[in-house]
Every structure is written in structure tokens, then in C-alpha cells.
């Protein structure tokens, strides 16, 4: 199968230019001057498919490095399976995900890793890799980290919150980071002070403050800033590289920026919800509505300027990339578990389908440049998580993961409109995007074209990742 994408504007993190892209089999074979032949050989006549991308952008497929498909969490399971979640991702121009293998205390991480392969194998629409969660840091887990790296799991997430569920204490974190410093793993951190949060939550519930809004008030920015600082200190002490997930508070960004200014391998990720949504408008919605947006870290107060600051941090590279933290739950039977007690609302928002569009809207709105859009959503995720060269760039030899994006198109997000995630609501209902994902190609196969899904369950393959290519 040979595909020629002609007349488009190729956007890489390094620049923008008119070029034709030839995909042969699963791989990009050539990036050519528009309309050129190859030594007199007429390419267009010798390919199976020609995609006319005139007036459109040709970008490397999106990489969402933070998803939780069918995650067991909060007394239920995230409502997207690997099948439904990766298909929704494909619809939105994402051609790879990195999902989290879950370990709860006393579970064996290698058993969990194999269990996650069983969930994903044969079900995914797009390519997928794994990070490993560490909860209790067993001696066996530390040994198993080496084995997992050989399997292509080169990043490990720990939690400073969720006591009794995921939380690791500082000593456990120190030991895991020491291991990461010696074997090249990238250490990821959910940075919130869980002990402070647990007290504030108990006090709120006892005072009868049970609505979703209090989820935000009981996870204040001070808890995020403090934990971010502590994680940076443990990284500095051990020499491990640190990647802080789902950063939402401007004060946490300042901690990351200060660490980077000192030359440390410290990186931050944010998510579309922290750029667009807020404590006041979403978590503060009337009645139980706010449950739709209960996630951790929480949505922050717009009156404090966090959203504005998060966009700025994307321009200055204080924050390096945007993932979704896709962890969807339906209102019915799932979010509803927390009626009368916000602390029982399963934490998570579903956005895997909309990240490329929402971030493109940032280009339209003048927040980020076209190349930065690609860098934040594809190129840096590839470099950060050891995929660059294969993924994250339009260049010969890379996987044929290509999206044709129409800046003259339009996307209306919401139920009954653009919505393929397995959720009974959209956290992005009513969002209008001045752009449109027209064609999605995954390793040379056209899986979405002009509003039609052409892919199949099982198209996606496991990606064995290398060590991070982003370290100083
Ligand atoms: O609310 C969230 N973020 N749910 C997913 C689990 C996590 O902490 O990333
Ligand atoms: Zn987290
Ligand atoms: Zn997460
Ligand atoms: Zn279109």
C-alpha cells in the first residue's frame, strides 16, 4: 500500500513548509518538493491512494502520553476500554497513546504489566505503550523496573496523594528515584500533598460541604506547589529525571521553572482542562453538575489566573507537553457514586478525542504557534518517552502516522456531534473548534477519512519504547 499526500503544508516542530509526503507500507518513504517526481518517476501514477491536502496541514499523528483506559479506580472502572478509547483517539487525530499499568499495594508489578497487555492486545485502534504505576515500592518492584525497561516500559509513575490506594511515602519515593537514577528511567509524579488533602476533605464533609465544588477547595494549589517542590528535591537528591503529570497550579509551574533554571532534568505536563476550564465555571456548576469535572489535580480558580499562566508556560517551555489524563466516567452509575459526598466521585475527565482540536484552537486564538502545537502534542511526547524518529515527526523512516488537518473546517464538540468516547456526557459540550481532523493515517493505513471510520479493532500495536530522548 502506497499513499501520496500531496499539495499540503507539512508542519513539524522544527518548521512549516509545502511538501508532498509519500508513505510506502507502514513507513514514510519520502518528503518531497511539491509536485516533484523521483528521478523522472511519476509518483502519483504509482501509488494506491492520493490524498489531496491542498490548503490543509499535514502533521505527525498525535501522541497522548497520559491515558487510563478501563482503569480500576474509585470503586469502578474508567468507562472507555482500550477498544473504545483508542478509536475515539483516532477520530481526533491521535495515533498513539501511552497508558498506565496500575499497581495497587501488594500487587506484583510484572503480573500487572502482563494483565495490561491482555486488556490491550488485539483491541486497540492505534499504537499503544505503557508506563508503570508504583504504589508500595517493594524490593521486587525495584528489581522488576530493570525488566520492564527491557520490555519498553521506561517511565514510572508514583503518587503523593490517595493514601491507602496509590500513595507512596517520601522514603519509598526516594528508593524508586534512586533506582530511576541508575537505570535511566523517567520518574513521573502525581504531585499533591495527600495528607493535607485528606484532612481538608474530612473537615469539609463533616461541615456538610459535600458538593463537587469542594473537591476543588480541598485540593488547594498549596498542596500542589508543596508536593511539586518535594518531588523536585527528591529528584535533585537522587539524580533521577522527573516528569510532573497534570500540572494545574501556576505556583507548581514556578517550581518546575525554577528547577529547570538550575539545570535539572525536571519536566511538566498539563492537560486541556487546565487551560480552558475552571473551578468557578465547571466545578461550581449548580447541583451535582460539577461532578462532570472532578479530576485531580483539580480545575483551578480563574480569578487566580492559573489558566492564563498555563498557556504562557506552554509558550516559554516551562511546561513541555500536553496530554489528556483521559480517565472517563459516566454520570450514571459512576460519577453518581459521589452524590452527597464529593470525595466518592470517581476522579477523571475524558478528553482523548479532543486534545488535538482543543490545542489547535490555541493556535487560532494566538496562544501558541503552529509548530508549537505539533511539538506539544506529538514531537515532545515522542522525545520525552523514547519514541522519537519512529513517531512525532514527518520525515523519511518514521512510521506513517499522519493527520491531514483542515484549518478551514469546523468541529462542534458534544453529545450527538463529535463524541466517540464511551461517556454519557461530554466535558467539552458546546466547544466549537475552528479546524477539523480530515484524514488520519496510522502506520500507512487510512483509519479515518472525511467523517468515516475505516480502521479496525486490533490495528494498533504495542510500542516498545526506548529511554527518554529529552534529557539534558
Ligand atoms: O483525576 C484523575 N487525574 N484521575 C486519573 C488518575 C490520576 O491521578 O492521574
Ligand atoms: Zn495523577
Ligand atoms: Zn492520570
Ligand atoms: Zn473537513
Q: Specify the CATH superfamily of domain 61-385.
A: Metal-dependent hydrolases (3.20.20.140)
DSSP single-letter state for residue 462: B
Q: Specify the CATH superfamily of domain 2-59+399-409+421-453.
A: Urease, subunit C, domain 1 (2.30.40.10)
The three cell numbers of residue 448 are 479515518
- Looking at the predicted structure, is the pLDDT value of residue 43 above 90? yes
What's the complex ipTM?
A: 0.94
Is the C-beta atom of 295 inside 6 A of ligand 1? yes
Predicted TM-score of the model (pTM): 0.98
Residues that place a CB less than 5 A from ion ligand 2: 190
Q: With b meaning 16 or more CB within 10 Å and e meaning fewer, what string describes 94-129?
A: bbbbbbbbbbeeebebbebbeebeebbeebbbbbbb
Going from the C-alpha of 184 to that of each of 158, 187, 323, 390, the distances in angstroms are: 16, 9, 22, 20
Question: Looking at the DSSP assignment, which residues form a beta bridge with residue 189?
Answer: 158, 244
Average pLDDT of the chain, as a whole number: 98
- Non-local CB neighbours of 142 within 8 Å, separated by 6+ positions: 175, 176, 179
- Looking at the predicted structure, is the pLDDT value of residue 61 above 90? yes
Average pLDDT over residues 295-321: 98
Residues in the chain: 472
DSSP single-letter state for residue 256: H
Neighbour tally for 343: CB within 10 Å: 18
The Cα–Cα gap between 167 and 159 comes to 5
Residues that place a CB less than 5 A from ion ligand 4: 406, 409, 436, 438
- Report domain extents, the chain: 2-59+399-409+421-453, 61-385
Nearest bound ligand to the CA of residue 296 = 1
Angle CA(388)–CA(393)–CA(395) in degrees, nearest 5? 110
Give residue 466 CA to ligand 4 midpoint distance, Å.
35
Give residue 295 CA to ligand 1 midpoint distance, Å.
6
- pLDDT value, residue 41: 87
Neighbour tally for 139: CB within 10 Å: 8
Give, for ligand 1, the residue of 77, 272, 348, 351 to mutate: max count of ligand atoms closer than 8 Å to Cβ: 348
Average pLDDT over residues 383-405: 98
Indicate the range of 2-16, 33-47, 220-234 predicted with least confidence. Answer: 33-47
Nearest bound ligand to the CA of residue 436 = 4
Condensed to tens digits (0 to 9), the pLDDT of residues 8-42 reads 999 999 999 999 999 999 999 999 999 888 888 89
Amino acid at each position: 500500500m502506497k499513499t501520496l499526500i500531496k499539495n499540503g503544508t507539512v508542519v513539524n516542530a522544527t518548521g512549516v513548509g509545502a511538501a508532498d509526503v509519500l508513505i510506502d507500507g507502514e513507513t514514510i518513504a519520502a518528503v518531497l518538493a511539491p509536485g516533484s517526481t523521483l528521478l523522472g518517476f511519476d509518483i502519483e501514477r504509482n501509488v494506491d491512494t492520493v490524498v489531496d491536502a491542498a490548503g490543509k496541514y499535514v502533521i505527525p499523528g498525535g501522541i497522548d502520553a497520559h491515558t487510563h483506559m478501563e482503569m480500576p479506580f474509585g470503586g469502578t472502572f474508567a468507562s472507555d476500554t482500550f477498544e473504545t478509547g483508542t478509536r475515539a483517539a483516532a477520530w481526533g487525530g491521535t495515533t498513539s497513546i501511552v497508558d498506565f499499568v496500575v499497581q495497587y499495594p501488594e500487587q506484583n508489578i510484572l503480573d500487572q504489566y502482563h494483565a495490561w497487555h491482555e486488556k490491550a492486545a488485539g483491541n486497540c485502534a492505534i499504537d499503544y505503550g505503557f508506563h508503570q504505576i508504583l504504589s508500595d515500592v517493594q524490593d521486587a518492584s525495584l528489581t522488576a523496573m530493570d525488566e520492564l525497561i527491557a520490555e519498553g516500559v521506561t517511565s514510572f509513575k508514583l503518587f503523593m496523594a490517595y493514601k491507602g490506594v496509590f500513595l507512596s511515602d517520601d522514603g519509598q519515593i526516594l528508593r524508586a528515584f534512586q533506582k530511576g537514577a541508575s537505570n535511566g528511567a523517567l520518574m513521573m509524579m502525581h504531585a499533591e500533598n495527600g495528607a493535607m488533602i485528606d484532612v481538608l476533605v474530612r473537615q469539609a464533609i463533616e461541615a456538610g460541604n459535600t458538593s463537587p465544588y469542594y473537591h476543588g477547595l480541598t485540593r488547594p494549589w498549596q498542596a500542589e506547589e508543596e508536593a511539586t517542590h518535594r518531588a523536585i528535591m527528591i529528584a535533585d537528591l537522587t539524580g533521577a529525571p522527573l516528569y510532573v503529570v497534570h500540572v494545574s497550579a501556576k505556583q507548581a509551574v514556578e517550581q518546575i521553572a525554577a528547577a529547570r533554571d538550575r539545570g535539572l532534568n525536571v519536566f511538566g505536563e498539563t492537560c486541556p482542562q487546565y487551560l480552558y476550564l475552571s473551578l468557578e465555571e465547571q466545578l461550581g456548576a449548580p447541583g451535582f453538575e460539577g461532578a462532570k469535572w472532578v479530576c485531580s489535580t483539580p480545575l483551578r480558580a480563574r480569578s487566580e489566573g492559573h489558566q492564563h499562566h498555563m498557556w504562557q508556560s506552554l509558550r516559554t517551555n516551562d511546561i513541555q507537553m500536553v496530554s489528556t489524563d483521559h480517565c472517563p466516567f459516566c454520570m450514571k452509575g459512576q460519577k453518581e457514586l459521589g452524590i452527597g459526598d464529593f470525595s466518592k466521585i470517581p476522579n477523571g475527565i475524558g478528553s482523548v478525542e479532543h486534545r488535538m482540536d482543543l490545542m489547535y484552537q490555541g493556535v487560532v486564538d494566538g496562544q501558541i504557534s503552529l509548530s508549537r502545537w505539533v511539538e506539544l502534542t506529538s514531537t515532545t511526547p515522542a522525545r520525552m518517552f523514547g519514541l522519537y524518529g519512529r513517531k512525532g515527526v514527518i520525515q523519511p523512516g518514521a512510521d506513517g502516522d499522519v493527520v491531514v488537518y483542515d484549518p478551514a473546517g469546523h468541529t462542534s464538540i458534544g453529545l450527538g456531534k463529535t463524541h466517540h468516547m464511551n461517556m454519557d456526557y461530554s466535558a467539552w459540550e458546546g466547544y466549537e473548534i475552528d479546524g477539523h481532523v480530515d484524514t488520519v493515517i496510522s502506520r500507512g493505513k487510512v483509519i479515518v477519512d472525511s467523517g468515516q471510520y475505516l480502521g479496525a479493532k486490533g490495528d494498533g500495536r504495542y510500542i516498545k519504547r526506548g529511554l527518554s530522548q529529552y534529557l539534558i
